[in-house]
């Protein structure tokens, strides 16, 4: 059920029956809260970097694996899609479990599982085995983004979530940016199999570290001042976990569908570039592995810059009095439309440098928008529903985005060109922007008895 009330001073709309907690005076973080924030964000940033090292490893090793195992571009696309499809489907139970068990258990187990399957990727001998480990990798990675949203929602005041969300999202792009040169160097030293095994083992160690060091908010005894800092400006939602009826009711919500369709446009674009950017540069401009690794890093650094800038822009506009929801929507729609425009002209680039620049701007804009998509959950969804809404949004977007790698691979096998695939991508991005503009109107809140 969707409700909205008109308090101009609220950063989120407050439904009837819920208590709005005003922020009186300047917000003060205790040293303990600051320490928790630093610890949580440091671990999240490391986890996100490892997460995207794992995701991009197959893309970087694309041409080498195709040659060694005799795979076509369509089969590589299927391997990439198997991950995203498994990841998307696993989002549904992941959100419900996260709201009940918390990020400590969910991210700890998820990180260990995905890292284990990443290590197994270095031992595969045929296409079927590769499909199976890619499915395991996708299931294991499912808790990552919803856990990040939940941790930031739990440990930062609503007016201060833009910057940590920007850093969290930017860390994924930093992972994508540093992974091509790092993974290319690892492949030249230990081969693609050794590369998979090494980063898998590192992820398992980090998973153990997360479980040992992080504690859920509900497992900490907080002072009155700490509770006030965390809750000031937010809606005091009920504490009990969502019922299945409430979770199922989200699929009847117009705003939820707008976020699902809209974020599909974000992820289709992002996943196409994650999956095929190294292959595009290598095949279109006849680059070797080392050159491909370094040039691929540049567009992803643009993406990281877009995420970081979004955090600054959102927090600055909200502090100047602009409504938190409106701020996010403007950033989302503008970023998606600009990204679509840049994607549409990628194939018109007449040099490697200009292609890298245009792709970089497309990624800058799409990730500027994507950061606000996650931030929209913080300001437009009741706190007890954030993990479920985030996981459903991710579920829909990755189910849809899973078509990007295989469609692109099939188009490449059929036409020997990326032109049609990039045009389709631009159109999908525009449709996503329109979904946010016309369907995301009201907040998602607890049902009123």
Tens of pLDDT, residue by residue over 212-255, are: 999 888 777 777 787 777 776 655 555 666 777 888 888 999 99
Checking if the pLDDT of 342 tops 90, the result is: yes
For residue 381, being part of any structural domain is answered with: yes
pLDDT bucket at 19, cuts 50 / 70 / 90: very low
> Residue 125: is its pLDDT beyond 60?
yes
Instruction: Report yes or no: 405 and 272 within 8 Å, Cβ to Cβ.
Output: yes
**Three-state DSSP string of 76-134:** HHHHHHHHHHHHHHHHHHHHHHHHHHCHHHHHHHHHHHHHHHHHHHCCCCCHHHHHHHH
- For residue 21, being part of any structural domain is answered with no
Which pLDDT tens digit goes with each residue over 349-394? 888 889 999 999 999 999 999 989 988 887 888 877 877 788 788 8
Split at pLDDT 50, 70, 90, the class of 5 is: very low
- Given this model, what pLDDT does residue 446 score? 67
Q: CB–CB of 406/78 below 8 Å? A: yes
In this prediction the pTM is 0.71
Counting the structural domains of the chain, the total is 1
**% residues pLDDT > 90 (the chain):** 28
Residue 245 in domain: yes
Is 445 inside any structural domain? no
- Owning domain of residue 93: 29-215+224-439
CATH number of the domain bearing residue 33: 1.20.1250.20
Using DSSP, how many helices (H) and how many strands (E) does the chain show? 16, 2
Residue 13 lies in a domain: no
10 is a domain residue: no
pLDDT at position 292 is 76
Q: Report yes or no on 18 lying in a domain.
A: no
């Amino acid at each position: 059920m969707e409700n909205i009330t008109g308090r101009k001073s609220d950063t989120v709309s407050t439904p009837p029956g819920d208590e709005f907690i005003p922020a009186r005076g300047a917000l003060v973080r205790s040293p303990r809260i600051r320490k928790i924030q630093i610890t949580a964000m440091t671990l999240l940033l490391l986890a996100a970097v490892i997460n995207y090292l794992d995701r991009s490893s197959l893309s970087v090793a694309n041409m080498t694996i195709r040659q060694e195992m005799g795979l076509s571009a369509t089969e590589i696309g299927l391997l990439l899609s198997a991950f995203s499809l498994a990841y998307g489907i696993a989002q549904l139970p992941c959100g419900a479990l996260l709201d009940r068990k918390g990020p400590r258990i969910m991210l700890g187990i998820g990180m260990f599982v995905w890292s284990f399957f990443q290590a197994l990727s270095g031992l595969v001998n045929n296409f079927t085995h590769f499909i199976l480990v890619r499915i395991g990798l996708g299931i294991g990675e499912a808790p990552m983004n919803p856990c990040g949203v939940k941790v930031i929602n739990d440990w930062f005041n609503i007016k201060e979530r833009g910057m940590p969300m920007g850093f969290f999202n930017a860390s994924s792009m930093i992972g994508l940016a540093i992974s091509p040169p790092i993974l290319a160097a690892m492949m030249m030293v230990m081969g693609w199999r050794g590369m998979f095994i090494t980063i898998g083992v590192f992820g398992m160690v980090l998973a153990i570290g997360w479980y040992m060091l992080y504690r859920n908010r509900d497992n900490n005894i907080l002072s009155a001042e700490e509770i006030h800092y965390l809750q000031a400006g937010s809606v005091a939602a009920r504490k009990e976990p969502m019922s299945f009826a409430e979770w199922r009711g989200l699929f009847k919500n117009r705003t939820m569908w707008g976020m699902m369709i809209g974020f599909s446009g974000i992820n289709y674009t992002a996943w196409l570039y994650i999956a095929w950017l190294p292959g595009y540069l290598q095949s279109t401009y006849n680059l070797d592995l080392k050159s491909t690794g370094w040039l691929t890093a540049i567009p992803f650094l643009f993406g990281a810059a877009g995420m970081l800038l979004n955090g600054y822009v959102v927090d600055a506009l909200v502090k100047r009095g602009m409504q938190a929801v409106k701020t996010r929507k403007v950033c989302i729609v503008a970023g998606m439309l600009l990204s679509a425009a840049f994607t549409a002209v990628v194939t018109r680039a007449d040099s490697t440098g200009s292609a890298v620049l245009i792709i970089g701007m497309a990624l800058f804009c799409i990730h500027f928008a994507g950061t606000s998509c996650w931030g929209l959950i913080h300001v437009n969804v009741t706190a007890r529903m954030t993990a479920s809404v985030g996981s459903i949004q991710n579920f829909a977007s990755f189910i849809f985005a899973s078509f990007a790698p295989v469609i692109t691979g099939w188009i490449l096998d059929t036409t020997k060109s990326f032109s049609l695939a990039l045009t389709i991508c631009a159109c999908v991005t525009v449709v996503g922007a329109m979904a946010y503009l016309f369907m995301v109107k009201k907040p998602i809140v607890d049902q009123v008895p």
